[in-house]
Amino acid sequence: MRNRKFNSDTVFNIVHKLFMGLILILFAWPIWFIIISSVSDPYAITNGEVWLIPKGFQLEGFRKIFENKELFVAYRNSIVYTVGGTAINIVLTVCAAFTLSRMDFWPRKFLTVMYIFTMYFGGGMIPYYLQIRDLGLMNSPWVMVIPNAINIFNVLILRSCFMYGIPKELEEAASLDGAGAPQLLMKIYLPLSKATLAVLVLYYAVGHWNDYVSALLFLTDREILPLQSILREILVMSDYMSRGSMNAAAVAEMMRTGGIIKYGVIIISTIPVMIMYPFVQKYFVKGVMVGAVKG
């Protein structure tokens, strides 16, 4: 009986590890291919010779990208927009979620319905553009932060965490000790919601970092453009030059470097998110452990 159980467990573990290994390969291979292709010879990539390791190591794509002097200014702008915007997002989301989670707050249901209504019905692009113009946010750095200062879906997630994920006994005990709403929020709700807040920080930060449409619609000053706009210009310019040049040698050269420039752009734009994720990941693990102990 023990041998049969041992054999079944062994088979399950082998199948499970093989399956998870396959999933890992499916997700990790595209990322690894982009990395090795960005430093490989373009002809080797075109001929399908690049698989596991770089071939014909070179950094020409990155060199051409960093030749654009505006890239570093745009990098700084994107970091400022991401950090500042995420901080504003979290503050407003916490305030809104805590308010909606209070059972003694009588307009709670009405406000929840109004918030949800805005998730399904919007004014459209033209009214949105006119509103931004009337608010004086055109060609202003604040246009990258203020219009997206809060996300209703994230508010509802955090509200549910406050309502159902935190024992009411803790709040009652703190209230008996004289704690008011600010003390409850800062000393009970927020410390016990770190895992959820970490997820929301990641969502908001990635959203700000990848925000390209806002800059396309509302920004014209090149000193305040985000990284995504400059990277797109680099891609478009390389493609335009390869199509518009009458010199056959120049066309061949631009086509040769166009691919590695694209791979380099992908890497440069994803590095900050990849750096941030491990620091947020520990809160995910902590949240799982807390849930296991409670269970």
Q: What is the pTM of this model?
A: 0.79
- What's the CATH superfamily of 63-294? MetI-like (1.10.3720.10)
Q: Would you say the C-alpha torsion 255, 258, 260, 262 has a positive or negative sign?
A: negative
**DSSP states of 160-211:** HHHHHSS-HHHHHHHHHTT--HHHHIIIIITGGGHHHHHHHHHHHHHHHHT-
Predicted pLDDT at 81: 95
**DSSP states of 227-267:** HHHHHHHHHHHHHHHHHH---HHHHHHHHHHHHHHHHHHHH
Predicted pLDDT at 289: 47
CB 295 within 8 A of CB 231: no
Tens of pLDDT along the chain (295 residues) come to: 455 555 677 888 888 889 989 998 888 888 888 888 888 888 887 777 888 888 888 888 888 888 878 888 888 999 999 999 999 999 999 999 999 988 888 888 898 898 889 888 878 888 889 999 999 999 999 999 999 899 999 999 899 888 888 888 888 888 888 888 888 888 888 888 888 898 899 889 999 998 888 999 999 888 999 988 888 887 776 655 555 555 555 555 666 667 777 888 888 888 888 887 777 777 666 544 444 444 4
CA-based angle 207:212:213, to the nearest 5?
A: 105
User: Residue 195 and residue 186: Cα distance in Å, rounded?
Assistant: 15
Predicted pLDDT at 291: 41
